[in-house]
Each structure stands twice: as C-alpha cells, then as structure tokens.
C-alpha cells in the first residue's frame, strides 16, 4: 500500500531539503506528462467568475463556476473496481476491513490501509472527527456519522453537497453549496439523533438587515445582497481556538465571522479578488486565508465581543497557481498551504512568518491537508496521500506514500492514537475521495518522532507581525523567491 507518486523517486525515504527546493520552477508544463493529465485541462478552471452565478440559486449544478474542485477532474476519469461494485451491491454502505497478518510486534510497525467505507453514489467532500466519531459529507443530502468504524447515525439537510464540516462541543456546523451554514445538535436522550437547530444566517437576521439600504453590498453590476449572506458556495469552515467564533470562506470572495453562541454574523471581510478556497483560524488570534487568486493572507482578530473586527496584516504568498488548501499544525508552529501546481509552502511561527519555504509535494494539484504534531499529510488529484515529517531546520522528509484510492483525494482528517503497542506511536488517518469511498489508514510514527500537541506557548509574534505589517513584512512572491534562491 506504500508506493512512490509518479515522477518522484522515493526508493527509501524521499528527503526534500530547502536546497533541493531551489531547483523548482512554477512551470505548469510539468503536468503534461502525467498519466492523469488531459491536454485540454487548464488551471484557469480554478478561477472564479462571479457573473456566472444565478440570482435565484447561488450555486446550481448547471451554472456554477469552475474552480478549486468542481468538475475539474473530468480528465481524471475512473470507475469502481469489480470488487468495490460487488461490495456495495447489497447495501448503501459497505465496510471492508483490511486483514493484517503477523504478530502484535509486526502490527505495531504497520503502516497502511486498515479499512474502507464504500458507498453507492456520491463523492466525498468533507470529513471531521471528534473522539470516536467520524462525520462524513458528500454530494448527497446526507451527513453520515460513523462510530468505531460502524455506521452510527445519519442526518439529512435540505441542500446537497456538504463542502465543509466542523464540530464545536455539542454542535456540528456544515457548509453547503447553496451558501448556507446549517447547525446541528446531538440529542441528549439519543446520541444517534442529530437535530437541526439553526441556519446561518437565519430568517430573523435577514429580515432585520434587509430594512436598511446600508446593509446591502454590491456583488456585481445591478445586483446587491445583504452583507451577512454568502451568495456562492461555502468552501471552508474553521473555528477559533476558544470555539467562540466560526469562520466561513466562500467562492463569493469573502470571509464571514459568526458568533457560535447565538449564530449572529459579526463581520464580512472582502478577503480576496477571487474565490476563497480555504480559511483556517490559527495561533495568536491570526486567521489565514487562501484563494484561487494564488494569494495567502494573514488577518488578526481585534476587539473581542460584539465589536469584533479583523484587520489585514500581510500577504504571505503570491503565486500564479490557485491556493487549494491550508492547515496549521495543532501545536501552532507551522502554517502549510497546498497549491494547484502540486507544491506546498510553509511558514514557521518561530521565524515570525517572515520567510516562506516551498517543496514539491505532488506532480498535480494538492487538494487537502491535515496535520498532527510534526507530521503533515497531503492528499492530491494524483489519488495518493503523502506523509511528511518536519525535521529540525525546516526540512520535510516523505515517510510514506499511501496508495489505494482510484480518484482524487478531496479531504483528510487525522487522530493521534494515544495508546501504543511495544512503545510505538501511531495515528489514524481518514481520507475521502472522488472514488466514493472513505479509507482508514494506520500510520506508524515511531517512538520519538512526534511532537506532542501541547498548548501553544505565548510568543511575541503578534507585536512583531503587527509592527511590520506597514511595510516591514513583505509578501512572499513565488517567482521572485525561487529566483533569489537559484542565485
């Protein structure tokens, strides 16, 4: 189950150093020789076109714009194997456990597939974990819940395609293609029952805001919407560290800030010139956003409470390729960005985010990222998942390449396994794909190869970044930076 991705030489462990990264170029032609590449495929499909959105239905399947993922993978055609087809023929979902032979000592070092969850129709777009629960969103109207690898519950929304899921205590937030966020709560009497308790924004808030003309914002010529509403697909959701705020990124180019306690919209941020593909709340009240315009930005939360405002601080990255995914590792030391050209950029907190580093992650688009400790996982349109370990000095070593999906890997979620066998540490990785399956992987880490996800220590990054945001901290421009390294 561990194979090198096409074009990368991983005979043992592929070690990507900063020096090797200097030889990379931002030439999209590297995709042309890939077996999944179609000659007519263009990264322009990642870009957002606002005038293609219908007034009556913000993101219908007939007219929504093509960027980040929608219909991008026409050239990555695939079909289920005969084994998968027969497995799901008798039921909607099929659970298939991978048989692992050998001793307990052998299993303690095992890395590979544990089980597959296969469904009859629909691609998997979002995953979220909490404890022993796995929440799964797809392009159907159902959100499935699995507990201890068994189907536990299912709740249904009135809109299809669940693009994002986050869990905050007893609430589950789901972001949808219709531009709405739905809020669910677990029943106290029956944990398998999930009740819808709200929609963001709710009808009352819309009616109150619609009275005053100042609450409308022009989204294109002769068309305005109330500022608390997303008018296009919600692509990303993220919770603040204290779980008091919810951030939603949308293809309408904005980020909206919601209060978790009463579901009120506190702020709408005109974040980018193109679709927002990823937003993540990080350390020290910083928010990171990535867009189809190829830009990664940093925002800072100010004035907590009802007067919450977020100020733009800096641009970390300017690239010709779309930013498709972002993640901050749980111990709050590194920010990672995946791009449509297969590169991964990262910025270190201890270096005040002042300089970015880049390495080759996949040959084609990175679609999703996940992180735990000093490990980062990348899922790609090449159907593979790479497991990277951050070494001292910022070098990233590819530990494993997990192969098993037959379609692009769209979402990842990871949990550390607190127990250990024979002193070995491991984590469980969940991957959702356009092959209509969720796969469960065990990743062996070793005895001393993982940073504990400890509470983040206070730092001076806030004031340092704040002081430099008026010119001292410049954006990281991909071409310019790589050219400088080459010299």
User: Domain 14-486: what homologous superfamily?
Assistant: YVTN repeat-like/Quinoprotein amine dehydrogenase (2.130.10.10)
366 phi/psi in degrees, rounded to 5: -85, 120
Q: How confident is the model at residue 2 (pLDDT cuts 50, 70, 90)?
A: very low
Q: Are 383 and 406 in contact (CB under 8 A)?
A: yes
Range 346-366 average pLDDT:
89
Between 445 and 38, the more confident residue is 445
Dist CA 372 CA 1 (whole Å): 21
379-422 per-position pLDDT tens digit = 999 999 999 999 888 889 999 999 999 999 999 999 988 765 55
Dist CA 159 CA 113 (whole Å): 32
Dist CA 385 CA 284 (whole Å): 30
| pLDDT-above-70 percentage for the chain | 67
Q: How confident is the model at residue 158 (pLDDT cuts 50, 70, 90)?
A: confident
303-328 per-position pLDDT tens digit = 766 678 999 999 999 999 999 999 99
Exposure string of 21-60, with b = 16+ CB inside 10 Å and e = fewer, is beebebebebbeebebbeeebebebbbbebeebeeeebbe
328-331 — which CB contacts under 8 Å span 24+ positions? 328/280, 328/281, 328/282, 328/283, 328/288, 328/371, 329/371, 329/372, 329/373, 329/374, 329/376, 330/371, 330/372, 330/373, 330/453, 331/373, 331/451, 331/452, 331/453, 331/454, 331/456
Q: What is the pLDDT of residue 239?
A: 96
Range 261-287 average pLDDT:
94
Between 350 and 164, the more confident residue is 164
The H or E element spanning position 261 is: none
Q: How confident is the model at residue 461 (pLDDT cuts 50, 70, 90)?
A: low
């Amino acid at each position: 189950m561990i194979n090198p991705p096409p074009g990368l030489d991983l005979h043992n462990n592929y070690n990507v150093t900063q020096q090797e990264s200097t030889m990379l170029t931002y030439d999209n032609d590297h995709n042309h020789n890939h077996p999944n590449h179609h000659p007519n495929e263009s990264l322009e499909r990642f870009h957002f076109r606002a005038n293609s959105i219908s007034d009556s239905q913000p993101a219908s399947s007939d007219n929504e714009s093509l960027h980040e993922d929608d219909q991008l993978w026409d050239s990555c055609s695939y079909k289920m194997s005969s084994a998968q087809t027969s497995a799901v023929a008798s039921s909607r979902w099929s659970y298939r456990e991978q048989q692992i032979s050998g001793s307990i000592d052998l299993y303690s070092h095992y890395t590979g597939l544990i089980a597959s969850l296969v469904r009859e129709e629909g691609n998997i777009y979002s995953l979220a974990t909490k404890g022993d629960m796995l929440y799964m969103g797809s392009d159907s109207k159902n959100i499935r819940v699995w507990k201890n690898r068994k189907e536990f519950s299912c709740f249904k929304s009135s809109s299809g395609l669940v693009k994002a899921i986050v869990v905050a205590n007893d609430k589950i937030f789901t972001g949808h293609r219709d531009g709405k966020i739905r809020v669910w709560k677990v029943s106290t009497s029956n944990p398998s029952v999930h009740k819808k308790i709200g929609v963001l924004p709710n009808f009352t808030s819309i009616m109150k805001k619609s009275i005053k003309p100042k609450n409308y914002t022009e989204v294109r010529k002769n068309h305005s919407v109330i500022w608390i509403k997303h008018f296009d697909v919600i692509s990303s959701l993220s919770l603040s560290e204290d779980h008091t705020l919810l951030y939603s990124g949308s293809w309408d180019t904005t980020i909206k800030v919601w209060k978790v306690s009463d579901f009120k919209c506190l702020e709408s941020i005109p974040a980018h010139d193109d679709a927002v593909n990823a937003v993540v709340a990080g350390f020290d009240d910083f928010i990171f956003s990535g867009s189809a315009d190829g830009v990664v930005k940093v925002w800072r939360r100010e004035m907590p409470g009802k007067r919450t405002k977020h100020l733009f601080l800096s641009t970390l990255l300017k690239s010709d390729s779309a930013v498709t995914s972002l993640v901050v590792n749980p111990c709050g030391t590194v920010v990672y960005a995946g791009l449509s050209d297969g590169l991964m950029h990262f910025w270190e907190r201890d270096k005040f985010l002042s300089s970015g580093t880049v390495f080759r992650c996949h040959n084609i688009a990175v679609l999703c990222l996940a992180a735990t400790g000093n490990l980062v996982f990348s899922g790609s349109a090449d159907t593979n998942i790479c497991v990277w370990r951050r070494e001292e000095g910022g070098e990233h070593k590819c530990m494993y390449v997990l192969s098993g999906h037959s379609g692009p890997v769209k979402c990842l979620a990871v949990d550390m396994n607190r127990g250990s066998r024979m002193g070995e540490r491991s984590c469980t990785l969940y991957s959702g794909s356009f092959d209509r399956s969720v796969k469960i992987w065990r990743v062996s880490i070793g005895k001393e190869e993982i940073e504990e996800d400890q509470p983040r220590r206070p730092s001076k990054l806030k004031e340092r970044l704040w002081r430099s945001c008026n010119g001292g901290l410049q954006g990281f421009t991909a071409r310019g930076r790589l050219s400088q390294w080459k010299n």
